[in-house]
Structure 1
Amino acid sequence: MKTTKLFAVLLLMASFVSCEQKPEGKPTVYIIGDSTVKNGSGKGDGGLWGWGDYMDQFLDTTQVDIENHALGGTSSRTFQSKGLWEPVKDSLKKGDYVLLQFGHNDSGALNDDSRARGTIKGVGEESEEIDNMLTGEHEVVHSYGWYLRKVIKEAKEKGAIPVVMSPIPRNDWTDGKLSRNDKSYGGWAKQVAEEEGVTFINLNERMVSALNPIGEEKVTGTYFYKRDHTHTSARGALLSASLISEGLAASDNDLKTYLLKDPKTHLPEKKDIFLIGDSTVASNNDTIVGWGVVFEKYFDTTRVRIHNKARGGRSSRTYRGEGLWDEVKDSLNEGDFVLMQFGHNDGGHIDTPKYRGSIRGMGDETQVVDFGNDSTEVVHTYGWYMKKYIEETKAKGATPIVLSMVPRNIWHGDKVERNDDDYAGLAKQAAEEMDAIFVNLNDAVAHKYEAMGKDKVKEYFPKDHTHTNKEGAELNTLTVAEKLKQIRNCNIRDYIYLPEEAKE
């Protein structure tokens, strides 16, 4: 009898121990770090992503929650001094996880009036007292290792499980190899993790090993961008997350039990940008090149697709009448863009071959054209057609952007002929009436032509005064990109990068 009671007590005690070891409810993976962990809002701001935004593709989110609290611009010091760690710490419960990666910003100045985010290099106990020039507060600044240890210890005190990552590599190459950080922040992160007895994933080494065989040329533009050697593209962030997943799988950390056995990874869905217009936009031949041919040069094609649907010889009337617009319209999805430029052919004859002219104006007046074979067409004004394109683009949840026609190589003295009193002005009026974005390409390109002079501009027009060669198309499309980049109320600007950005 006594033996039976003793056995029952032991079973009860064992059950209590077992319950204490289980997480209190569904565990949460908290992620903290800088912009290489979460860039901006975490939605690909400027085409840049952090690896924290992709961890949900490798962890079973039916069994574990994920919260990415990383913030761009922070260091191991300022993530804490700004009060960002405190709410994470307060939310921690037994069985949660904290994934942390710092280092990219820790090398900054300890004290200045711009960021004041640096830490003392190393893992020691040394400190420096400062009167912070940025915050106006008296502050004791510690070493990089000190701040990491503080997070690790406080997470452990709450029963959470820390996982330390070395910082991802920058896209800096020497003799065909990416630079490692094992002698600085990567090495210090490893040292702290080992001293504190927590899991360390050498993300820096894993990523360098994965990218070196690919080579600088392909890595740049695929995993990083020319304009930024620190922040990854979506593909680079996904790679980082996959390498963390591999590191967890190879560790003895319990978080690996929540890894998906066969993760189905995917990159953000691309938006589509459609170009509609005439031969000054379209792909024509090696001699005559529209600006739409080289348009993608200034766009982040990992996030957008460019569709040049312009067609030579078309007007606002015939592009619609021939069914070319229906093809574009049927392809539109919410969040897409339509850039429309017509006018060069709208001044043609309305009722004689080539039957492409539209009625000059903005009103609802019409003209019936009889083709003499028992078929007729109701022709509308240029403004009517443009407003229809805008209206139907908006109805699909896409963004219409109206451009005035590129100028012809026609000069009056030292000034290029503008089209403000004709189709350029009508295009602007249509955009304003429909509350659409308008880009005065006609005037912007004309200003550039005037700065170059007649002789140079003449080289751009090998055949006539309307159609440019590739060099002229390059100038026109750069001008389009520059003007779009200046638009504050349209996120198409986030997909553009200009030559000066590419040099940074």
Structure 2
Amino acid sequence: MKKVQLLVIFSLTSILLCCKPKTLNLKPTLYTVGDSTVKNGKGDGYGGLWGWGDFIGQFLDSSKVKIENHALGGTSSRTYQNLGLWDAVDAKLVAGDYVLIQFGHNDNSPVNDTIRARGTIKGIGDETQEINNLITGDHEIVHSYGWYIEKIVKDAKAKGATPIIMSPIPRNKWVKGSVPRNDTSYGLWAKQIAERNNITFINLNDEMAKQLEVLGEEKVTGTYFYKRDHTHTSAKGAAMAAEIIVDALKQTDNAITDYFKENVSISYPKKKNIFLIGDSTMANNGKKEAVGWGVPFPQFCDTTQVNIINKARGGRSSRTFVNEGLWDAAKKEFTADDIVFIQFGHNDAGKIDQAKYRGSIKGIGNKTQEVTKDSVTETVHSYGWYLTKMIRETRDKGAIPIVLSITPRNEWANGVVEQRDSTFVKWAKQVAEAEKTLFVDLSDMVAKSYQKLGKENVKPFFPKDHTHTGLEGAKHTAKLFAAYLKQAKAIGLRGCVFIED
């Protein structure tokens, strides 16, 4: 009897051990392989650019299927495999997995050059071209686009996985109101390989082009694509492509249809808030002859990634911005990781106890002065004290304070643009250093550009007086600031701004 019991226990243990690997593989994986239109950069939306592989996961039930985006920007069907990227995916494939394949945008490049050497032979034939790769130095046999795609298909099938081919997404190029298709080139060849191997083909190129045409070029550019880039999609463009793929897959007999969620509401990346705190040289003053640089600044920003919130107010000093409650009202809106640019000084040089009562005590010290106006006594602090207050209270909200120097006036001493670099520019920098926050010397940046332009060319920038710019002058400053942000790694907005003439 004991021998029978032991035999039964041994048999059950053997069965459980044999079944364990299969249990681990019950949850299939959906792999995406392709170029930057499937995954741009690191897939973090840098520069506002996304691939559809970054959004397709939102349509799938993650409790039933895993998603892994293995696409790499800049690759063709050839270089994706030459770099070992496909081998890495192939090694992980098991029966029941899925592989979404999209290449073509980069396959039209030169077969051999010193830049990328990534092109493939056009078509789906067996012709080859032998080269000595000018980049790697290796002897290489280059095949057709179809040959490389078919290799991925056959490898996936050999593992029991399901390969699915997409035609490349359309580019944001328009001809007489229409988006050109690639149905005589890579779209056609992708379809032919799918048909030859009896697998699913999704005409992403045509289906997405149809939706873009319904919207029209004006609505598409700036929302689904950017003016500066006709190939790579924004978050909304990537989500559109992902949804087209999902809708197409739902019409097939692939088991993947069991993993799609219903009534999906796309979650887009959270926008970063950028607050502008300052005076009339930054504010929207409602006057053509006095336009703050904060007004045209949004046109140099990717507003699908950032919100520009201009809280600057004309006529205010650091002191009156605080005393009038403008600062308290603004900081109520700050949230964690917001960026707050703070720029004051022009009006801080005013009278402390007369007229507009907006001057602050010079410097950054703790000296105070009691001022009475309309029977109300006010304790006036230094310029540096008010800036310090704003910096610290911004940090208390979890936001990031960045101090800007004032903009230069249209004043030229001996042919040189005059700056307040011994007063307000210096004090702003000293406060930033003391508080260990970032400082941007906008004064020096703009003054140097004025110097290059010359006094006569700068004069039209100031239609009212020597302090306030008109729209063109404001745009000039905003563009310089955007260019600075484009290369300022520490601020973290390099992918959110762009310069377009």
Distance in 2, matches of 1:238 and 1:303, equals 15
Q: Cα deviations across residues 60-91 of structure 1 (Å, max 9, x unaligned)? A: 11211111111111111111110111121111
Distance in 1, matches of 2:435 and 2:76, equals 47
Distance in 1, matches of 2:377 and 2:22, equals 82
Corresponding residue number in structure 1 for 2:446: 445
Distance in 2, matches of 1:323 and 1:86, equals 62
Corresponding residue number in structure 2 for 1:303: 305
Q: 2:67 aligns to what SS in structure 1?
A: strand
Corresponding residue number in structure 2 for 1:7: none
Q: 1:334 aligns to what SS in structure 2?
A: coil
Q: 2:450 aligns to what SS in structure 1?
A: helix
Distance in 2, matches of 1:410 and 1:21, equals 78
- 5+ residue gaps, structure 1, are 1-19
Q: How does 1:77-476 map to 2 (within 5 A)?
A: 77-287=78-288, 288-371=290-373, 373=375, 375-476=376-477
The 10-residue stretch of structure 1 (386-395 or 65-74) with the greater mean CA deviation from structure 2:
386-395
- Amino acid paired to 1:93: V
Distance in 1, matches of 2:313 and 2:29, equals 54
Distance in 2, matches of 1:412 and 1:23, equals 77
Q: Cα deviations across residues 438-468 of structure 1 (Å, max 9, x unaligned)? A: 2211122222223333333332223222112
Distance in 1, matches of 2:368 and 2:57, equals 57
- Amino acid paired to 1:281: M
Task: Check the 8 A contact 1:23/1:94 in 2, yes or no.
Answer: no
Distance apart, 1:327 and its partner CA? 2.0
Corresponding residue number in structure 2 for 1:9: none
- Amino acid paired to 1:306: I
Q: Cα deviations across residues 242-261 of structure 1 (Å, max 9, x unaligned)? A: 10011111222221221112
- Amino acid paired to 1:349: K
The 10-residue stretch of structure 1 (397-406 or 174-183) with the greater mean CA deviation from structure 2:
397-406
TM superposition score normalised by structure 2: 0.92
Q: Percent identity?
A: 56
Q: 1:67 aligns to what SS in structure 2?
A: strand
Distance in 2, matches of 1:317 and 1:240, equals 51
TM superposition score normalised by structure 1: 0.92
C-alpha change, 1:21 and 1:423, in structure 2 (3 Å) is closer
- Amino acid paired to 1:49: W
Distance apart, 1:387 and its partner CA? 2.3
Distance apart, 1:123 and its partner CA? 0.7
Distance in 2, matches of 1:433 and 1:131, equals 58
Distance in 1, matches of 2:240 and 2:24, equals 30
- Amino acid paired to 1:29: L
Distance in 2, matches of 1:298 and 1:30, equals 36
C-alpha change, 1:182 and 1:22, in structure 2 (3 Å) is farther
Which consecutive segments of 4 or more residues in structure 1 shift more than 6 A?
20-23
Distance apart, 1:372 and its partner CA? 5.8
- Amino acid paired to 1:151: I
Task: Check the 8 A contact 1:186/1:202 in 2, yes or no.
Answer: yes
Distance in 2, matches of 1:394 and 1:283, equals 26
Distance apart, 1:397 and its partner CA? 2.9
Q: Cα deviations across residues 217-245 of structure 1 (Å, max 9, x unaligned)? A: 22111111111111001110010001001
The 10-residue stretch of structure 1 (51-60 or 281-290) with the greater mean CA deviation from structure 2:
281-290
* Pair 1:52-2:53 in alignment: yes
The 10-residue stretch of structure 1 (356-365 or 187-196) with the greater mean CA deviation from structure 2:
356-365
Distance in 2, matches of 1:63 and 1:384, equals 57
Q: 1:377 aligns to what SS in structure 2?
A: strand
- Amino acid paired to 2:273: D
Corresponding residue number in structure 1 for 2:17: none
Task: Check the 8 A contact 1:22/1:95 in 2, yes or no.
Answer: no
- 5+ residue gaps, structure 2, are 1-20
Pairwise CA RMSD of aligned residues?
A: 1.9
Q: 2:44 aligns to what SS in structure 1?
A: coil
C-alpha change, 1:461 and 1:120, in structure 2 (3 Å) is same
Distance in 1, matches of 2:67 and 2:57, equals 7
Q: Cα deviations across residues 131-189 of structure 1 (Å, max 9, x unaligned)? A: 21111222221111111111111111111111110000111111221111111111100
Q: 2:462 aligns to what SS in structure 1?
A: coil
Task: Check the 8 A contact 1:36/1:50 in 2, yes or no.
Answer: yes
Distance in 2, matches of 1:441 and 1:342, equals 12
Distance in 2, matches of 1:484 and 1:34, equals 28
Distance in 2, matches of 1:376 and 1:252, equals 79
Distance in 1, matches of 2:70 and 2:395, equals 35
Q: 1:283 aligns to what SS in structure 2?
A: coil
Q: 1:459 aligns to what SS in structure 2?
A: helix
Distance in 2, matches of 1:125 and 1:197, equals 19
Distance in 2, matches of 1:130 and 1:396, equals 60
- Amino acid paired to 1:293: V
Distance apart, 1:266 and its partner CA? 2.5
The 10-residue stretch of structure 1 (400-409 or 164-173) with the greater mean CA deviation from structure 2:
400-409
Distance in 2, matches of 1:249 and 1:117, equals 34
Distance in 1, matches of 2:114 and 2:435, equals 46
